[in-house]
Structure formats: structure tokens, C-alpha cells
């Protein structure tokens, strides 16, 4: 990964972050920072720059390569495609694909406001995880803003899907996940992960998990114009019961961890961190989006709250232990 950094603001220190209530203020980037990578589906070389943004502006994407005007707000209301990745589109028809890993990194770093400038149709895939994006944010340096951070508190259980695959969101005191996947190969089989995503759990336990795919599906995907930039450098590839990547896995259960990563990124399109418990079974981008739609369709199922002592990705409370299973 290559990147360029423009330092023009003071970064906060990790010590300051631990001491005070900075976890509960909005954050943006201290400076702009750039990287170059390949688009997973387009196969194009893409330059991306992350810029600071004003309070309450949210995450906004812009395309420097397109004649179509306008910004693309990172919002569940702008999701237009969830096949193998999440794509958002504005009213002018300008779109950006594969936003979920970057959105997950923003969630994990507690970044509320940023402008993402791209010269291509999708966010570069980098190594297939959220770790390179978290590295970019850390290099740029998050900066604390003056306005309180708000979150979406789940007030009652919402569930979408069927018996074969589903995802639900229930009231809880923090953001937690319980996720199960099943595939008919001994390389994956059934994997389950349950954890509270607080106290750096996303960075330490989830962010490095890479996207994955199956070798027998590659030809069909490329004929459909997908996965043109996919390789063993940016994805785990499974052939039969064998993992083709020579270095193997980063975690024994890397597959389910990546599904959690995708879920965190997709749900950050809510426009604020969520205080609630996720329970997912074979869920993916489509169900993740349907869950947000169902949540916001029912005004009694959620409310906005100012973050004071709740814990969500990007906040820290030393007294709250992280639990992994």
C-alpha cells in the first residue's frame, strides 16, 4: 500500500483519549491522506484521498473522475446494490461500490465526519480487510471535534430473513455481535463468533480478516464483470477443501470474522454508531441492508441518544472487558 499524508493539524494523543470523554465527541481526520489500490470488481487502479470534514457532515464520497456532479452520502437510503459488495448512489446516478471495508474502518476508529475522494467507481480493495484503512486513519490522526457524538439506540428487536439466513438487532447496553456462518467445505464449515466490539476489539480481533471467495465461482463472476481485480493478494481463495493462499489464514475463524467486518461496515451506513446486539446467521450485504431498512421503517424501534457512557466501536471504557468466544 502506498499513501501520502498532508499534516496540518494537531493530533490527539492516545493518553488524552483514555483520560477523558473524547470517545463521546465527534471525530474527523487531522489531515488529508491518500492511497492507491485496485478495485476488486472493476480491476481499475484507483487513487483515494481521505479528507477532514465539518461536524455533523457525516461520511461523504465524491468522484473526481466523473462528469456527473454531486456528493454521495454514506447512507442506507443511498444503497442501490448489495451483490458481493455494497454500492451507494446519489440522485444524479453517481455511484461508489465496495464501501463496506472503509466504512467498517471509520466505525472502528470512531470517525464521524470525513470526505472520501476517489478517481474510480469503487473503494480500492487493498488487502481485502479493513486494516489498511484503519492504518490510514491512524496515520492521518483522528481529531476531536467540539460537538457531542450521538448514537442510535435500539428500543426493540428487529429481525429480517428466513430460517435459512437471518439477522436481528436487539436492545443492549453496548454494540455486540453473535454471528454464525456455514459452508459446505471443510475449509470453512460452521463458524461462530460472539463478542462486544469495545475497547479496541474491532481493531485487534476483526479488522485484519480478509474477504474470501471460491475458485469455482471466479470464471462466472468475471464473465459478469465482477472480481476483475481479485487475486490471492486481496482475498482468501478456496478450492474444494483447500485454501490456496500460501500463507494461510490470519485467524483460524477468519471467515466469520470477515462477515462481522462486513456487517459493521454495512450498519455504519445508519449514519451513527448503533447501541444494540446483532445476531446473524448466514447474513450478508443484502440482509444487512434490509435490517437497516426495517429498523428505520419503525420509529418505535430506535431513538437517538448522546453518547455518555454507552460503548460502541470507536469508544473506550477501560472497565468494560472484551469477551471473545
Are 118 and 37 spatial neighbours (Cβ–Cβ below 8 Å)?
no
Are 194 and 253 spatial neighbours (Cβ–Cβ below 8 Å)?
no
Rounded CA-CA distance 170/160 in Å is 12
> How far, CA to CA in Å, does 172 sit from each of 63, 175, 236?
38, 7, 33
The residue annotated as part of the active site, out of 41, 51, 258, 285, is: 285
Burial (CB < 10 A; 0-12, 13-18, 19+), residue 43, is: middle
Rounded CA-CA distance 104/133 in Å is 9
- Outline where the chain has alpha helix (H): 14-19, 100-109, 131-140, 201, 215-223, 254-267, 285-297
Are 142 and 109 spatial neighbours (Cβ–Cβ below 8 Å)?
yes
285 a catalytic residue: yes
96 HSE (CA, 13 A, CB side): 31
Q: Which residues belong to the active site?
A: 285
Amino acid at each position: 500500500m502506498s499513501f501520502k499524508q498532508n499534516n496540518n493539524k494537531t493530533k490527539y494523543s492516545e493518553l488524552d483519549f483514555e483520560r477523558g470523554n473524547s470517545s463521546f465527541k465527534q471525530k474527523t481526520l487531522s489531515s488529508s491522506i491518500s492511497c492507491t489500490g485496485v478495485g476488486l470488481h472493476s480491476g481499475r487502479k484507483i487513487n483515494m484521498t481521505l479528507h477532514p470534514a465539518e461536524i455533523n457532515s457525516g461520511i461523504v464520497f465524491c468522484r473526481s473522475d466523473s462528469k456527473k456532479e454531486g456528493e454521495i452520502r454514506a447512507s442506507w437510503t443511498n444503497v442501490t446494490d448489495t451483490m458481493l459488495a455494497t454500492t451507494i448512489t446519489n440522485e444524479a446516478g453517481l455511484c461508489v461500490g465496495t464501501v463496506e471495508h472503509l466504512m467498517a474502518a471509520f466505525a472502528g476508529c470512531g470517525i464521524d465526519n470525513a470526505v472520501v475522494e476517489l478517481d474510480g467507481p469503487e473503494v480500492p480493495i487493498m488487502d481485502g480487510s479493513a486494516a489498511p484503512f484503519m492504518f490510514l486513519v491512524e496515520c492521518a490522526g483522528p481529531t476531536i471535534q467540539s460537538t457531542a457524538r450521538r448514537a442510535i439506540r435500539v428500543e426493540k428487536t428487529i429481525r429480517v430473513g428466513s430460517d435459512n439466513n437471518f439477522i436481528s438487532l436487539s436492545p443492549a447496553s453496548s454494540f455486540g455481535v453473535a454471528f454464525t456462518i456455514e459452508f459446505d467445505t471443510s475449509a470453512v464449515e460452521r463458524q461462530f463468533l460472539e463478542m462486544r466490539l469495545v475497547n479496541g476489539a474491532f481493531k485487534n480481533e476483526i479488522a485484519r480478516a480478509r474477504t474470501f471467495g471460491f475458485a469455482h465461482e471466479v470464471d462466472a463472476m468475471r464473465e459478469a464483470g465482477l472480481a476483475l481485480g481479485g487475486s490471492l493478494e486481496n482475498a482468501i481463495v478456496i478450492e474444494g477443501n483447500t485454501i490456496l493462499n500460501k500463507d494461510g489464514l490470519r485467524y483460524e475463524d477468519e471467515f466469520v470474522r470477515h462477515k462481522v467486518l462486513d456487517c459493521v461496515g454495512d450498519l455504519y451506513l445508519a449514519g451513527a454508531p448503533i447501541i444494540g446486539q446483532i445476531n446473524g446467521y448466514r447474513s450478508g450485504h443484502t440482509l444487512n441492508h434490509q435490517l437497516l431498512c426495517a429498523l428505520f421503517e419503525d420509529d418505535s424501534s430506535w431513538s437517538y441518544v448522546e453518547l455518555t457512557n454507552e460503548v460502541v466501536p470507536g469508544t473506550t471504557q477501560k472497565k468494560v472487558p472484551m469477551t471473545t468466544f
